[in-house]
């Protein structure tokens, strides 16, 4: 049972480069989301999706794009990386949208450094 | 979503109970109280949740004040593996969680 899988675990980029952080879940979860965590801070919601073809913005969406073409995958794209995007990124999923007791399952994180 | 207030850090001796407080004075009637914890270098993991009544599971207990303006996560017997950052979160959808900075728990051997 893989759960939520994030790749890569570590990445170093130069300013202006683009890249995609991958997130896949094998639990048939409707809801998927991306968070970033900066040193000494809690997690902040970037984007989320309530099903295939449906995405929406969270607290800090600027500089990031997402799409949800399948239930399983929710990639996060950085089109032109900036040093301010240096962070640890977490993908999370939940079984059903709108159930207030839904448990979020998190991946192990992807550590991104932008030089 | 309503905000929560937690102490930045707490310490506990190993094998003793730990009470982690959370204030949420602006909680709405439909907000559930969720607790997650984040071990070093890992993603957060679910601990427990509740609405009005106290809740118990294998990991912890959740005590909710009668007016629901505060709650307490209780770890009955702290172990070194319980050293983590504990987040208290309110949500009425179970999806869009807004994490604060949480409480960093240190367990002393």
With a cut of 80, say whether residue B2 has pLDDT above it. no
A81-103: pLDDT as tens digits: 999 999 999 999 988 776 666 78
Of A42, A108, A109, the CB nearest to B101: A42
What are the structure tokens assigned to A49, written together?
A: 């999706």
Contact between B101 and A58 using a beta-carbon 8 Å cutoff: no
With a cut of 70, say whether residue B94 has pLDDT above it. no
**pLDDT band at residue A8, thresholds of 50, 70 and 90?**
very high
With a cut of 90, say whether residue B100 has pLDDT above it. no
Residue B82 is predicted with a pLDDT of 96
Q: Inform me whether the C-beta atom of residue A10 falls under 8 Å from chain B C-beta atoms.
A: no
B18-75: pLDDT as tens digits: 999 999 999 988 889 999 999 998 999 999 999 999 999 998 999 999 999 999 999 9
Long-range pairs of A42-48 with CB within 8 A, sequence gap ≥ 24: A42/B87, A42/B99, A42/B100, A42/B101, A42/B102, A43/A90, A43/B44, A43/B97, A43/B99, A44/B99, A45/B96, A45/B97, A45/B98, A46/A76, A46/A89, A47/A76, A48/B95, A48/B96
The residue whose two tokens read 């999806």 is B95
The residues, any chain, with a CB within 8 Å of residue B67's CB and separated by 6 or more, are: none
What are the structure tokens assigned to B26, written together?
A: 């602006």
Q: Quote the minimal CA–CA distance from A115 to chain B in Å.
A: 22
Q: Which of A7-16, B66-75, B86-95 has the lowest mean pLDDT?
A: B86-95
């Amino acid at each position: 049972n893989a759960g939520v899988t994030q790749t890569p675990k570590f990445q170093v980029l130069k300013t202006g480069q683009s890249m995609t952080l991958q997130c896949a879940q094998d639990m048939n979860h409707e809801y998927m989301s991306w968070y970033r965590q900066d040193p000494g801070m809690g997690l902040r919601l970037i984007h989320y999706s309530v099903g295939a073809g449906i995405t929406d913005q969270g607290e800090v969406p600027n500089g990031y794009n997402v799409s949800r073409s399948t239930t399983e995958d929710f990639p996060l794209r950085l089109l032109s990386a900036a040093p301010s995007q240096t962070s640890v990124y977490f993908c999370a999923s939940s079984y059903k949208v709108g159930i207030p007791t839904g448990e979020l399952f998190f991946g192990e994180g992807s550590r991104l450094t932008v030089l | 979503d309503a905000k929560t207030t937690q102490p930045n850090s707490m310490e506990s001796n190993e094998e003793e109970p730990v009470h982690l407080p959370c204030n949420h004075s602006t909680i709405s009637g439909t907000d559930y109280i969720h607790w997650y914890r984040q071990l070093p270098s890992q993603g957060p993991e679910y601990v427990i949740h509740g609405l009005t009544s106290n809740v118990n599971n294998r990991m912890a207990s959740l005590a909710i004040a009668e007016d629901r303006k505060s709650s307490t996560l209780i770890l009955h017997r702290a172990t070194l593996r319980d050293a983590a950052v504990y987040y208290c979160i309110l949500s009425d959808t179970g999806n869009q969680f807004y994490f604060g900075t949480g409480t960093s728990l240190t367990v002393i051997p």
